[in-house]
Amino acid sequence: MSSASLQPFNSFGVNAHCKNLIKIYSEQDIYDALLTYEAPYNVIGGGSNILLAGDLESTVLVNQIKGIQVVDEDDNHVLLTVGGGENWHNLVLWSISHNLSGLQNLSLIPGSVGAAPIQNIGAYGVEQSQCFHSLRAISLSTGLTKVYYKEDCQFGYRDSVFKKEDAGKYIITHVTYILSKKVEINVSYGAIQAELKNRNIEDPTLKQISDVICDIRVSKLPDPLLIGNAGSFFKNPIITEQAYEDLLLKYPDIVAYPANDKMKLSAGWLIDRAGWKGHSQNGAAVYKNHALVLINDGTDNGGDIWQLAMDIQADVLSKFGVEIVPEVNVWGRP
């Protein structure tokens, strides 16, 4: 049944198949695909936040809708509508070269613009929701277009309505961001501050911030073009202050940050402390420089990476009593 290989379309570089693979360049292509091929459908953007744990009995739509367009502006802001198939980092570079603030901390995040709101990508103290204005999406069941404004999206930490009740129901064709013409920066994250100081930069430009972040990311995270991976595999778990106090007694060096009235634990620290960093089994491994990142260490089978993830999850639960859940979308689960 399954015929098209998804190997070039997922950043883990594993080999899974789907029934049909259709590249989408326009909204018309979506209507045509929905009329030609039967449900179910899966949508792939950059393929950098999925683990294909097995074959898919679906038609996969690869979003390649391009374009960055200024649709409105006033003295202080620019409204930018971007094709869902644009590369995220290209958008960040475009905004910096046009002196527009807002996205610079999100430099070098792999993936596409259409995928960014789904998991509300974030890094170095900023989430895409802070610049988000609206998006256009087409229903995979009715073919009708729907506009989502910020309040419709239920953005949270690595979360949105597209991971909850609207999961898998839409293809996001365009995203509109509101960026500032004034230089507005957020360099509160410790690692950025330290690196700016190291470079003797007191009043950084957008480009300098972006460069620092790119360098930090390159030093910690593997390049998916060289080593198959999907960035952080798990979310940082959020636990009660009481549960945190209990853990702190046992593990005084545990890494955690306040998150509203709760505490966000570093999943990287938990996995590292449980002894998994650098561990490799059946062609799947925990990256040596960052325990939150699982890598393809020579397997074609995403099920091997899924098995490693499950082994880590069970071990962290038994050692710390904390459940860590995947941040990546797992499809074709065996």
Rule CB under 6 A: which residues touch ligand EPU?
123-124, 220-221, 231-232, 235-236, 255, 266, 268-269, 272, 277, 290-292, 327
Tell me whether the omega of the peptide bond preceding residue 40 falls within 30 degrees of 0, making it cis: yes
Residue with Cβ nearer ligand EPU (24 or 291): 291
CB of 30 to ligand EPU, least distance (A): 27
Say which residues have a Cβ less than 8 Å from residue 281's Cβ, sequence separation at least 6. Answer: 304, 307, 308, 311
Q: What distance in Å separates the CA atoms of residue 51 and residue 53, rounded to the nearest whole number?
A: 6
Residue with Cβ nearer ligand EPU (55 or 297): 297
Residue with Cβ nearer ligand EPU (83 or 268): 268
CB of 253 to ligand EPU, least distance (A): 9
CB of 57 to ligand EPU, least distance (A): 28
**What phi, psi does 319 have (nearest 5°)?**
-80, -40
**Catalytic-residue membership of 58:** no
* Closest chain position to ligand EPU (CB): 231
CB of 273 to ligand EPU, least distance (A): 7
Greatest C-alpha distance within the chain: 60
Residue with Cβ nearer ligand EPU (136 or 290): 290
Burial status of residue 121 (CB atoms within 10 A of its CB: 0-12, 13-18, 19 or more): buried
**If you count them, how many residues does the chain have?**
334
CB of 277 to ligand EPU, least distance (A): 5
Which of 11, 127, 158, 160 is flagged as catalytic? Answer: 158
**Catalytic-residue membership of 158:** yes
Identify whether the C-beta of residue 284 lies closer than 8 Å to the C-beta of residue 307: yes
**Catalytic-residue membership of 199:** no
Residue with Cβ nearer ligand EPU (55 or 228): 228
H runs (alpha helix) in the chain:
27-36, 88-97, 190-198, 206-220, 241-250, 267-273, 302-320
- Looking up tokens 């603030």 gives 101
Supply the residues annotated as catalytic: 158, 232, 327
